[in-house]
Amino acid sequence: MKLIERKQYLDKMIAVINTPDIKVLTGVRRCGKSKLLEAFKSYVMKNNSNANIIHINFNLSKYDNLKEYTKLNEYIENNYVENKDNFVLIDEIQMCNNFELCINNLHATEMYDIYITGSNAFLLSSDLATLFTGRTFEIKVYPFSFTEYMQYFELTDKHLAFDKYMFEGGMSGSYLYEEQEDKYDYIENVFNTLILRDIRQKYNIKSPILLDRLSQFLMDNISNLSSARSIADTLNSNKDKINHKTVSKYLNYLCNAFAFYKIPRYDIKGKKYLATNDKYYLSDHAFRYAKLGTKNLDSGRIIENIVALELLRRGYEIYVGILYKKEIDFIALKRSEKIYIQVSDNITLPETFKREIDPLLKIKDAYPKIVIARTRNPEYQYEGIKIIDVADWLLNK
């Protein structure tokens, strides 16, 4: 398989070498965590002649005898080398029973620099503080961005490349297949087998069909405001028996497994967060096409999903903005930075342009305001609002 350097993530790992944290790579299944760990190993071997690297990949059968925490701990301690910089790299840590006992013990000795990856459903961001008594440093890994997609395929025409990325998405394992249907078969298998199965196993779900129906509903309603109660009502109208409490639990499970990201609402005028009606975006937009087909392309929703994930990649905290009953697609926050963003597929029609611009014009503060659309034109401004082509915005950070 062809590999590219995922500099954004590798730089984060390099920056925390020799810090006392337990470094944890999280993200949806098959987004590239294992390859990233291998790339980090290569970097250390090349740049630190005093390094002793203890690398365990539980996907390989030769490590089956280490799937009990005392055996794993014993193996690592036996491979420790005095007066060396000892790195511990463990892939798919959840395959070792009671793995946290081993990691906490190793961390307490202050003798190792520890990096781990694990199945999304078994190594949740919300669980890290509970699992590990030491401080953790989470590195959130996402499927390939548009920039990485162009780099992988060595593409130069950004507009044609974006049209392809819209269909193919960022699950790089699918890039090995020639036919689009084979790509989607791979992506659907990732979702069904590796995401939903993990969730079923971790939470002992009695109604896996309802979990799948819920995930399909969310895929079909990307960028729509939803609540557990409204989703339950819709599913029940389709003769699925489920209550809003179960829907709420399943939504949390899907988000904890990085299948979806929940984006809450924020009242701009009232300056308060709103508790109901959130939006849900897929960790990779190709999951939708793989599961539901490409009959209903709904390009506007897909572009909105791509923008949402890119904002998360860039480290923004994002919300859906509400102002005078008008909706702003995203409020992106990072420390003192704030950006208001509208997303659209095509703004050539005057009524569409007006619909996207009007909510931004009503915001009276001085923070940047942007419309991101498939314009295929250079950036320009309208009454202080930047109008940016989506491919340009994705490529220029």
Q: State the CATH number of the domain containing residue 78.
A: 3.40.50.300
Q: Does residue 248 share a domain with residue 303?
A: yes
122 in any annotated domain: yes
* pLDDT greater than 90 at residue 76: yes
Side-by-side strand order, sheet with 272-282:
272-282, 260-267, 317-323, 326-334, 337-343, 369-373, 385-389, 380-382
| Distance, CA of 383 to CA of 392 (rounded, Å) | 21
- In this structure, the dihedral spanned by the alpha carbons of residues 118, 121, 127 and 132, taken in order and rounded to 10 degrees, is -20
Clarify whether residues 369 and 283 are in a common domain.
yes
Tell me, yes or no, whether 101 and 172 share the same domain.
Answer: no
394 has a pLDDT exceeding 90: yes
Q: Which residue has the higher pLDDT, 351 or 130?
A: 351
Q: Of 90, 105, 140, which residue is a domain's last? A: 140
Q: What is the pLDDT of residues 2-13, one digit of tens each?
A: 889 999 999 999
pLDDT of 124 higher than 70: no
At residue 122 the predicted structure's pLDDT band, cuts being 50, 70 and 90, is: low
* Percent of the chain residues past pLDDT 70, beyond the cut: 98
- Asked, for residue 85, whether it belongs to a domain, the answer is yes
Q: Which of 124-138, 152-166, 320-334 has the lowest mean pLDDT?
A: 124-138
Residues 133 and 182 grouped into a single domain:
no
66, amino acid identity: L
Give CA–CA dist 39/35, Å, rounded: 6
**Per-residue pLDDT, 325:** 80
The answer to pTM > 0.85 is yes
Mean pLDDT of 60-79: 97
pLDDT at 133: 80
What's the pLDDT at 129? 72
Confidence label for 110 from pLDDT (cuts 50, 70 and 90): very high
For residue 29, pLDDT over 90 is answered with no
Quick: pLDDT tens for 202-228.
Answer: 888 988 899 999 999 999 999 999 999
Q: Which amino acid is at 155?
A: L
Task: Please check whether residues 264 and 234 belong to one and the same domain.
Answer: yes
User: Is residue 134 a part of any domain in this protein?
Assistant: yes
What number is the average pLDDT over the span 326-355?
95
Distance (Å, whole) CA 350 – CA 206: 51
Is the pLDDT assigned to residue 193 strictly greater than 90?
Answer: no
- One-letter identity of residue 246: T
* Side-chain half-sphere exposure of 374, counting CA atoms within 13 A: 16
The answer to the question of residue 220 being in a domain is: yes
In this structure, what are the phi and psi dihedrals at residue 5, rounded to the nearest 5 degrees? Answer: -75, 125
- CB-based contact 280:215 (threshold 8 Å): no
At 263, which helix (H) or strand (E)? strand 260-267
Indicate whether 2 belongs to any domain: no
The whole-number pLDDT of residue 125 equals: 64
Residues near 342 by Cβ (< 8 Å), separated by ≥ 6? 328, 329, 356, 357, 359, 360, 370, 371, 372
**Total structural domains in the chain?**
2
* Closest by CA position to 226, among listed 199, 254, 190: 254
Q: What is the pLDDT of residues 228-238, one digit of tens each?
A: 999 999 998 87
* Range with the poorest average pLDDT among 121-130, 346-355, 388-397: 121-130
104: β partners: none
Q: Which of 140, 173, 192 lies at the terminal end of a domain, its last residue?
A: 140
For residue 196, what pLDDT is reported? 82
With pLDDT > 90 as the criterion, what percentage of the chain qualifies? 78
Percent composition of the chain: helix, strand, coil (DSSP 3-state, to 5): 45, 20, 30
Question: C-alpha distances in angstroms, 100 versus 62, 105, 133, 365?
Answer: 21, 8, 9, 47
Residue 180 has which token pair?
């689009």
The verdict on residue 192 lying in a domain is yes
Same structural domain for residues 301 and 360? yes
Whether the per-residue pLDDT at 201 is higher than 90: the answer is: no
Residues 121 and 169 reside in one and the same domain: no
SS3 call for 241: coil
150 and 77 housed in the same domain: no
Three-class secondary structure of residue 136 per DSSP: strand
Domain that holds residue 115: 7-140
Q: What is the mean pLDDT of the chain?
A: 93
Same domain, 127 and 182: no
Tens-digit pLDDT profile for residues 157-173: 999 999 999 999 999 99
Tell me which of 111, 140, 169 is where a domain ends.
140
pLDDT at 301: 95
Q: Clarify whether residues 129 and 174 are in a common domain.
A: no
Whether residue 246 sits in one domain with residue 104: no
1 assigned to some structural domain? no
Please provide the DSSP assignment of 159-193 as one string. HHHHHHHHHH-S-GGGGG-SSHHHHHHHHHHIIII
> Are residues 2 and 153 in contact, defined by beta-carbon separation less than 8 angstroms?
no
Contact assessment for residue 376 and residue 384, using Cβ atoms and an 8 Å cutoff: no
For residue 121, what pLDDT band results from cuts at 50, 70 and 90? Answer: low
* Nearest partner of 131 among 91, 101, 87, judged by Cα: 101
CA distance 366 to 62: 59
Could you give the CA distance from residue 99 to residue 3 in angstroms, rounded to a whole number? Answer: 30
H or E stretch including 105?
helix 99-109
Residue 156 confidence (pLDDT) above 90: yes
In this prediction, residue 206 carries a pLDDT of: 83
Q: In what order do the strands lie in the sheet with 85-91?
A: 51-57, 85-91, 113-117, 22-26, 136-140
228 and 339, same domain (yes or no)? yes
Distance, CA of 50 to CA of 326 (rounded, Å): 59
